[in-house]
Structure 1
Amino acid sequence: MEIRWNTKLYCLIGQPINKSLSPIIHNNIFKTLNQNSIYLAFNIEEDEIKSTIDGFKAMGVGGFNVTIPYKKSIIKYLDDISKEASIIGAVNTVKNHNGKLIGYNTDSGGFLQTFYDNNIDIKNKNILIIGAGGAAYAIASSLAMEGVNSINIANRTLENSILLERNINKINNEIMTKVVNLSLNNLNKKKMDIIINTTSLGMYPLENMAPLELNGFSSNTVVYDIIYKPCETRLIRDAKAREFKTFNGMSMLLNQAILSQNIWGNLDKKINIEIFKKIEGILPNYIE
């Protein structure tokens, strides 16, 4: 690509960003679409956020993504946020709309898109979420808005599980919620339709660890580990050995990026699947 005076700039801010695959994904999208745009990643300190945002406005940056640890703190620097971002309480995508910065959350939509793409109806399903951090909030919020039957939360810290449960109830008080212990001895495993791991268990240096054992779950259980590096965590391997349907975090990563491009106005939704398949094919080459 030849960078010219009118090349449109998009970017990522966070701390740290050195392992991010976002520049690979978005620049390959621009290349596929033959767009005169470039995507860069910037490592920003917390006390530099305001000046960075002011600079983006002055330069007319088309949009940007926000990653940890600024998905919540970025909100106060924006002109407005979407309803979904307000419900979740976090922003990961910002659009420059005629000089006004509008915040969105595509993490939740990227997560749900995996089920849509695979024709899995999650309405009235029973969900087990492992973990209660930021990713769990976005995922649980999207599940609550989608109208699942129940959400069960297993996390190392009981207080965090309770806070997540309260947040789910605020969004949809018709969903049954339950805090379960990590041993899962107070959970009816046979009734669980979907297991979602939102913890780091399975990533380096914990590759040989899994957040739970799969004994006692139904053979129809779907296992979704949002980790994408490695592509196959121990949890995914264990689930495949039992012939459970499995998904890793790659689809969520790609779909949230595609949804960001939709928000910025660069992608027609009709070619989302085509873009997904193309980027999915090359991305493993960049995973160490």
Structure 2
Amino acid sequence: MTERLDGHTLLIGLMAYPIRHSMSPTMHNNAFAKLGLNFAYLAFEITNEKLPGAIDAIRTLDMRGSNISMPNKQKVIPLLDKLDPATEMIGAVNTVVNDNGVLTGYTTDGIGFMKSLADEGLDIRGKKMTLAGAGGAATPMAIQAALDGVKEISIFNRHDEFFDNAKRNVDIINEKTDCKATLHELEDQDDFKKEIASSYIYADATSVGMNPLQDQTLVTDPTWFSEDQIVFDTVYAPRDTKLMAVAEKAGVKHVFNGLGMMLEQGAAAFKLWTKKDMPVDYIREILFGDDAK
């Protein structure tokens, strides 16, 4: 690392709170080193209150850009100069690119989701998806899937603070894509079971399954799944989630956690900053070894 850093090194950040647990610095710094690129990636714990000053710093320090994570993905939008068209639909930013002082916001989460499936030889275009959640991960997943050609999406959410966002996602998908989206109440378990049964892929983009909810899953009955379906959990800590265990008990052939999505969304951001392809296989081995699913 020190051999690479000099007076010409460009800084890229990660602005979120909390964020010290992130694997992104390891991912990006190893990729820069592998390709001999003169960038450095650092994590900064930035709350909503600190965000305006932090975004100003991107311009002031001539940083190449930054990743943005919770709780800043929506708050950052009015602080930027431009949004990429898909990001405008999604209404959240996870990547900022600085081009000579002009800051453009992008969202790579949905791209990472679709690419992680493609990496496994799976194509969900023209198929039906059932998606649980309408938050920071679920929104770009739904909209990117619709933009990429998924035929139908059934979105389930509880009547909580994200329910209005779920309505917005459905409206945007129906108005601006060829995909048919419908909104469902997660409290209606019979409806949930029926929609999953008629879907090629079920994706859980909620926090259920993550600490402190690691012993929970929205689907507890293996009979809800069939062998030829895809079951995708955005959680990757723990690596083997409760949902994955239920799906594996059902004999589902394609069961994944969120590691691949996390890696591919990072790769998409990497390309926006560097114009280079991240050495994904090399980084996957560094981060996950034999644990990647």
Task: Name the TM-score, length of structure 2 as normaliser.
Answer: 0.89
1:240 positional shift = 2.0
1:60 pairs, out of 59, 62, 67, with 62
Other structure's SS at 1:51 match? helix
Q: Name the residue aligned to 2:250.
A: 242
Other structure's SS at 1:124 match? coil
User: Once the two structures are superposed, what CA deviation does each residue of 1:190-219 show, in whole Å capped at 9, x if it has no partner?
Assistant: 312111111111112222211212323222
Runs of 4+ in 1 over 4 A off after TM superposition: none
- Once the two structures are overlaid, the 10-residue window that deviates more, 154-163 or 194-203, is 154-163
- Quote the Cα distance in structure 2 between the aligned partners of 1:63 and 1:160: 29
* RMSD between aligned residues: 2.0
1:107 positional shift = 0.8
Could you tell me whether the CA contact under 8 Å between 1:145 and 1:172 is conserved in 2?
no
- Quote the Cα distance in structure 2 between the aligned partners of 1:142 and 1:230: 26
- Quote the Cα distance in structure 2 between the aligned partners of 1:96 and 1:180: 40
- Quote the Cα distance in structure 2 between the aligned partners of 1:13 and 1:21: 13
1:165 positional shift = 3.7
Could you tell me whether the CA contact under 8 Å between 1:147 and 1:175 is conserved in 2?
no
- Quote the Cα distance in structure 2 between the aligned partners of 1:98 and 1:266: 15
1:35 and 2:37 aligned = yes
Other structure's SS at 1:69 match? coil
1:92 positional shift = 0.6
Q: Name the residue aligned to 2:209.
A: 202
User: Once the two structures are superposed, what CA deviation does each residue of 1:166-197 show, in whole Å capped at 9, x if it has no partner?
Assistant: 42232334504141434530242431211111
- Quote the Cα distance in structure 2 between the aligned partners of 1:165 and 1:151: 13
Give the alignment of 1:130-279 within 5 angstroms. 130-157=132-159, 160-161=162-163, 163-173=165-175, 174-182=179-187, 184-187=189-192, 188=194, 189-213=196-220, 214-244=222-252, 245-268=254-277, 272=278, 275-279=279-283
- Quote the Cα distance in structure 1 between the aligned partners of 2:18 and 2:251: 37
- Quote the Cα distance in structure 2 between the aligned partners of 1:31 and 1:212: 42
1:47 and 2:49 aligned = yes
- Quote the Cα distance in structure 1 between the aligned partners of 2:247 and 2:146: 25
Other structure's SS at 2:139 match? helix
Question: Relative to structure 1, is the Cα distance of residues 44 and 163 closer, same or farther in structure 2, using a 3 angstrom cutoff?
Answer: closer
Task: Name the TM-score, length of structure 1 as normaliser.
Answer: 0.90
Could you tell me whether the CA contact under 8 Å between 1:153 and 1:161 is conserved in 2?
no
- Quote the Cα distance in structure 1 between the aligned partners of 2:56 and 2:172: 34
Could you tell me whether the CA contact under 8 Å between 2:173 and 2:181 is conserved in 1?
no
Could you tell me whether the CA contact under 8 Å between 2:155 and 2:181 is conserved in 1?
no
Give the alignment of 1:87-102 within 5 angstroms. 87-102=89-104
1:80 and 2:82 aligned = yes
1:150 positional shift = 2.0
Other structure's SS at 1:185 match? helix
Letter in 2 for 1:199: T
- Once the two structures are overlaid, the 10-residue window that deviates more, 181-190 or 95-104, is 181-190
Q: Which runs of 5+ in 1 are unaligned?
A: none
Other structure's SS at 2:154 match? strand
User: Once the two structures are superposed, what CA deviation does each residue of 1:212-251 show, in whole Å capped at 9, x if it has no partner?
Assistant: 1232322211000011111110111221232211111111
Letter in 2 for 1:198: A
1:258 positional shift = 0.7
Question: Between Structure 1 and Structure 2, how many residues are aligned?
Answer: 281
1:68 positional shift = 0.3
- Once the two structures are overlaid, the 10-residue window that deviates more, 17-26 or 149-158, is 149-158
- Quote the Cα distance in structure 2 between the aligned partners of 1:200 and 1:159: 14
User: Once the two structures are superposed, what CA deviation does each residue of 1:10-65 show, in whole Å capped at 9, x if it has no partner?
Assistant: 11011111211111111111121122221001111322222222222111101110
- Quote the Cα distance in structure 2 between the aligned partners of 1:246 and 1:252: 13
1:104 pairs, out of 94, 103, 106, with 106
Could you tell me whether the CA contact under 8 Å between 1:15 and 1:45 is conserved in 2?
yes
Question: Relative to structure 1, is the Cα distance of residues 22 and 54 closer, same or farther in structure 2, using a 3 angstrom cutoff?
Answer: same
Could you tell me whether the CA contact under 8 Å between 2:47 and 2:72 is conserved in 1?
no
Could you tell me whether the CA contact under 8 Å between 2:111 and 2:265 is conserved in 1?
yes
